[in-house]
Structure 1
Amino acid sequence: MLTKLEKYRFQAFVAAAFFVCDAGAQAVVSEVRAPSESSIPAGPRGVAIQEGRQLMNETRQRLPKNVGNGLNCSNCHLAGGATAYASPWVGIWGVFPEYRARSGKLISLQERINDCFERSMNGKPLPYTSTEMTNILAYMQWLSTGVPTGVSVTGRGFGAIDQKLKADANHGKQVYADKCASCHGADGSGMKGGEHGYTFPPLWGADSFNDGAGMARTYTAAAFVKHNMPLGQGGTLTDQEAVDVSEFFTHQPRPVYPGKSHDWPLGDKPKDARS
């Protein structure tokens, strides 16, 4: 009889073996490219795609029961999920189910979406069979048009950052003041863009992501910052500046995610994961 930990490890081994064996046959798409607007079909599917896009861009307004802060999905998934190294959704349809170390198992795309609702949005998951979930999936499927199943596009995720760098929060505080505060506020509270959301999202405080979100990890946030910030000037910060400023803002007060105690059940918890 396998113990619970042995069972987890066996599942992880099988999953890892599957993806290693499959990886050799995978091609790589050279760039993240959203399909043309003209390719959105008429009829119910086209309506679902359009509705899904609106949900991603106006999440707080359209899903107030599921969003517990002031964020929209597109605050991190820039340009509606069509920007390389800003966790694009282009191609995401064909790579799930996928093994996720944080969960210690294979997860579906619906589970991954709800992970974001519970962590990045500090909210509640969507029912898998809800109209909203169906529309979000329709939008992601459309964004993945032309990307073969099983292909992971170049630019997926947040990109690379030198994780051997030692983070200096004091220097990061200065980088924040120089490079970030004009948009995100000296107190990290963001810049509101009207009644229903922010032009520039809050980086800490009650309206920001909770400490179970990937963006609450220093090196994950640093990769995003390095490639995308300041907005429109991605790539202008050094790795050290990105790491330092991320160490500063990720460790400011923010909502607590109780479920993070169950993360990485197989071990190998990243050094920047919150506890």
Structure 2
Amino acid sequence: MRIPLKMAVPLALALALAAALPARAAQDQVPFVVPDPASVPKGAVGEAILRGKALLSDTRKLLPGNVGNGLNCTNCHLNGGTVPYASPWVGLTAAFPEYRARSGKVISLQERVNDCFQRSMNGKPLAPDSGEMNDILAYMKWLSTGVPVGHDVAGRGFEKIDTALVPDSKHGAALYAAQCASCHGAEGQGMPNPAGGYVFPPVWGKDAFNVGAGMARLYTAAAFVKHNMPLGQGGTLSAQDAVDVAAYFTQQPRPDYAARAKDWPLGGKPKDAR
């Protein structure tokens, strides 16, 4: 198959960038360090940092116009984005702008944040220059204190999991009932909070993340589950168990995301992408 000339250059660049990523991760990784809360500065910057943390922790309540489901950002980015292998925000401002294969281009941290609002939160993006976006970036910058630009932090993203593992969703359904339903509900509906929102988030249905979210991908969800679930007992499930339970809940009904049709414009769509 011949690749049109106008696509050949960006495709070649994308492949080159992708090939360079493992070497960068191995060579330029730095330790995972969460700043001392006492180091939040006084004054306007410190106030922005604290507002950003609040927005990310109570997103549904504080940004109702941008959240279209029942989630907060910290439902996946655990403990204010400070837990390794739970997609932490530590070090992010040192990594962006960054090439993202799903977008097929280099994106800013603002774009990455809005990607989550549109997919994981099934909502609407923030204005890139809004006060709320600046507060969120201020919090992420504070979490990235001391991380050199261009370096990755150990524990970034999710723990790697073997994508050759074959899922067994029937076994996953049994595991979900035994290990997950007490918090997330027998029908994935979450545990409602009488004061509003959820004590534990829904994992499918209208108030869950949509099909375009990273957590809707089998092996991404399995990696999160393996390291972090059940909450407080992370690492107790085998990799196979994590793949099985993820195979069960990722395929349950959830909101659609039409714009996913434009994902991976340069090719390379993962096998578990919805």
CA drift at 1:5: 2.8
**Deviation per residue, 1:61-107 (Å, 9 max, x gap):** 00000000000000000000000000000001100011111011111
Q: Which runs of 5+ in 2 are unaligned?
A: none
State the secondary structure of the residue aligned to 2:29.
Answer: coil
Shift of 1:27: 3.1
Post-superposition CA distance 1:182-238 (Å, at most 9, x none)? 000001000012333211100000000000000000000000000000000000000
Q: Which runs of 5+ in 1 are unaligned?
A: none
- Contact 1:15/1:106 (<8 A) preserved: no
Q: How does 1:110-129 map to 2 (within 5 A)?
A: 110-129=110-129
The answer for the alignment partner of 1:5 in structure 2 is 7
Q: Give the whole-Å Cα distance in 2 for the aligned partners of 1:246 and 1:24.
A: 27
Which secondary structure state, in structure 1, belongs to the residue aligned with residue 47 of structure 2?
helix
Q: Which moved more, 1:78-87 or 1:142-151?
A: 142-151
- In the alignment, what sits opposite 1:188? 188
SS at match of 2:199: strand
For 2:156 and 2:6, locate their aligned partners in 1 and report how far apart those are by CA, in whole Å: 32
**Relative to 1, partners in 2 of residues 1:22 and 1:138: Cα closer, same or farther, differing over 3 Å?**
farther
State the one-letter code of the partner of 1:183.
Answer: C
| 1:266 Cα offset (Å) | 1.1
Aligned partner of 1:23 in structure 2 is 24
Instruction: Judge which range, 193-202 or 99-108, deviates more.
Output: 193-202
Of 143-152 and 3-12, more deviation after overlay is shown by 3-12
Distance 2:194 2:153 in 1: 35
TM-fit CA distance, 1:28: 2.0
Please list, as runs of the form range in 1=range in 2, the aligned pairs for 1:1-275 lying within 5 A after superposition. Answer: 3-13=5-15, 15-16=17-18, 19=20, 23=24, 26-30=27-31, 32-274=32-274
Identity of aligned residues (%): 61
Distance 1:151 1:143 in 2: 14
Q: In the alignment, residue 99 of structure 1 is paired with which amino acid?
A: Y
Could you say what the CA RMSD is over the residues aligned between the two structures, in angstroms? 1.8
Distance 1:70 1:25 in 2: 37
* Structure 1 CA distance for aligned equivalents of residues 230 and 62 of structure 2: 28
Partners of 1:60 and 1:196 within 8 A in 2: no
CA distance in 2, matches of 1:260, 1:25: 31
Q: Aligned with 1:110: secondary structure?
A: helix
The 1:240–1:16 alpha-carbon spacing in structure 2 relative to 1, beyond 3 Å, is closer
Q: Give the distance between the partners of 2:26 and 2:95, measured in 1 at CA.
A: 13
Separation of aligned partners in 1, 2:194 and 2:93: 33
Say if 1:114 and 1:160 are closer, same or farther in 2 by CA, change over 3 A: same
Amino acid at match of 2:267: G
Distance 1:90 1:267 in 2: 30
TM-score normalised according to structure 2 size? 0.95
TM-score, structure 1 length as denominator? 0.94
Q: Deviations over 1:218-267 (max 9, x none)?
A: 00000000000000000000011100000000000000000111101111
- Kept in 2: contact 1:28–1:154 (CA 8 A): yes
Displacement of 1:13:
4.3
Which letter maps to 1:226?
K
The 10-residue stretch of structure 1 (248-257 or 192-201) with the greater mean CA deviation from structure 2: 192-201
Could you tell me whether the CA contact under 8 Å between 2:190 and 2:200 is conserved in 1? yes
- The answer on whether the counterparts of 2:25 and 2:152 sit within 8 Å (CA) in structure 1 is no
- For the 8 Å contact 1:85–1:157, the answer to whether it is kept is yes
